Amino acid sequence: MEKKINDVLDKLRPFLISEGGDVEFIKYEDGICYIKFIGACEECPLNSFTLDEGIKEALINEIPEIIDVKLV
């Protein structure tokens, strides 16, 4: 599961890195993927949009076992 998640995140990373940030996979547990924003993404006022409309949508669409994505 970790590899599947990181494969999806790797597709999104170039967009985050271009803005000075990144995302880190923390863990997967009971259908929930836990991630952490790093760099510029930590303090970005749009990080909730990035989470909901970008990362969460991509992970749920590409990995059916994931039911939610949360920040730690």
The reported pTM is: 0.92
Give me the pLDDT at residue 59, please.
98
Give me the pLDDT at residue 58, please.
97
Mind listing the pLDDT tens digit for each residue in 27-65? 999 999 999 999 999 999 999 999 999 999 999 999 999
Question: What are the structure tokens assigned to 70, written together?
Answer: 């949360």
Give me the pLDDT at residue 25, please.
98
Q: Which residues pair with 25 in a beta bridge?
A: 35
- The separation between CA 37 and the C-alpha centre of its own chain, rounded to angstroms, equals 8
The domain total for the chain is 1
Q: Which positions ≥6 away from 50 have C-beta within 8 Å?
A: 16, 37, 41, 44
Instruction: Give the CATH number of the domain where residue 7 resides.
Output: 3.30.300.130
Domain that holds residue 53: 2-71
Average pLDDT over residues 3-13: 97
